[in-house]
Homo-oligomer: A and B are copies of this chain.
Amino acid sequence: MNERLIFVTNDDGYSSRGMEAAIEVARRFGRVVVIAPETVQSGMSQAITMYNPLYLRRIPREDGVEMYALNGTPVDCVKMAFDHLLREERVDLVLSGINHGSNSAVNVLYSGTMGAAIEGSFYGCPAIGLSLCDHSADADFAAAVHYCTEIVRSVVEGGVSTPLCLNVNVPVGGVDSLAGVRVCRQNRGFWREEFYRHQDPRGREYYWLTGDFVNAEPESEDTDEWALAHGYVSVVPVHVDLTDYARLDDLRRVLK
């Protein structure tokens, strides 16, 4: 059997700690190629770079991992991999992450990590977005590495059909303290935003986005937010048909 080829990217940049955690997972399953953003691309969603040239820069490593940095978005990195660098090869799996911070609930829409995972799934191989619900600089990725490894093993060895895109979130805690893996649906909720207002050194007023997530259904036990709040690793299968089928008939009556 040929060695598997695992493509890894993220939205925190090629030099993030979460990237090394993702590589640790990926190396257990085959040859690893990384193209990741030069700089932090959190909140970049499924954005693509249309009006700037992209530069691909080789990052030397001594562990056999082929790594490049790209001055673009996470989705640009995936396109660069499949449509250029790995065009002649068969990629067996896309891993995006491990993100510093949660991408559960509606955050799947804003997340650069999940933007890259969704993009990866377009190319016909399984794609998994991995996130640890911990923004701190000294976050412990041990449990995330453990559970992500288990999930990747199940996907690559379990005969899961494609297209497949998973949104995996790991709560804070040690391997033994977590409750296990739970397949969920996306929680309904929204961000209540605030804009931090201040004056810059030139006296101009600026705004900076901040806010809190509001869980619209905290009692629902089948959501990713509930799973995470109860110590489970949440796994949400993601698809990209945004059609609201339930509204079609209603709208056909109204829009003649």
Chain A residues near B (Cβ < 8 Å):
40, 42-51, 53-56, 75-76, 79-80, 82-84, 106, 108-110, 112, 115, 118, 122, 151, 154-155, 158-161, 164-167, 181, 183, 185-186, 188, 190-195, 200, 204-209, 211, 235-245, 247-248, 250-252, 254-256
Q: For residue A115, which residues in chain B have a CB less than 8 angstroms away from its CB?
A: 45
Given known contacts A47-B43, A53-B206, A250-B160, is B256 in contact with A195 (CB within 8 Å)?
A: no
Report the separation of the CA atoms of residues A76 and B82 in the bound assembly, to the nearest whole angstrom.
Answer: 30
Contact A80 B243 (CB under 8 A): no
Bound CA span A164–B255, Å: 14
Q: Is the interface of A mostly helix, strand, loop or mixed?
A: mixed
Nearest Cβ on chain B to A183's Cβ, whole angstroms: 5
Q: A43-B47, A181-B256, A238-B242 are in contact. List 7 more A-B contacts (CB 8 A).
A: A40-B51, A42-B50, A43-B49, A45-B48, A80-B195, A83-B195, A237-B248
Report the minimum CB–CB distance from A78 to chain B (whole Å): 10
Q: How many protomers of this protein does the assembly include?
A: 2
10 A-B pairs with the lowest CB-CB distances in the bound complex, closest first: A53-B206, A239-B244, A45-B45, A237-B247, A45-B46, A237-B244, A83-B193, A185-B243, A43-B48, A158-B254
Is B207 a contact partner of A110 (Cβ separation < 8 A)? no
Check A185/B122 contact, CB under 8 A, given A45-B45, A80-B195, A160-B254. no
**Choice from B46, B241, B256 contacting A110 with Cβ under 8 Å:** B46
Contacting pair B109 A240 (CB below 8 A): yes
Which of chain B's residues have a CB closer than 8 A to the CB of A243? 185-186, 236-239
Q: Which residues of B contact A206 (CB under 8 A)?
A: 53-55
Query: Are the C-beta atoms of B209 and A110 separated by less than 8 Å?
Result: no
Is B84's CB under 8 angstroms from A207's CB? Answer: yes
Contacts of A247 in B (CB 8 A): 164, 237, 239
Q: Tell me the smallest distance from the CB of A83 to a CB of chain B, in Å.
A: 4
Chain B CB count within 10 A is highest, among A51, A55, A242, for A242
Do residues A47 and B45 form an inter-chain contact, with CB atoms below 8 A?
Answer: yes
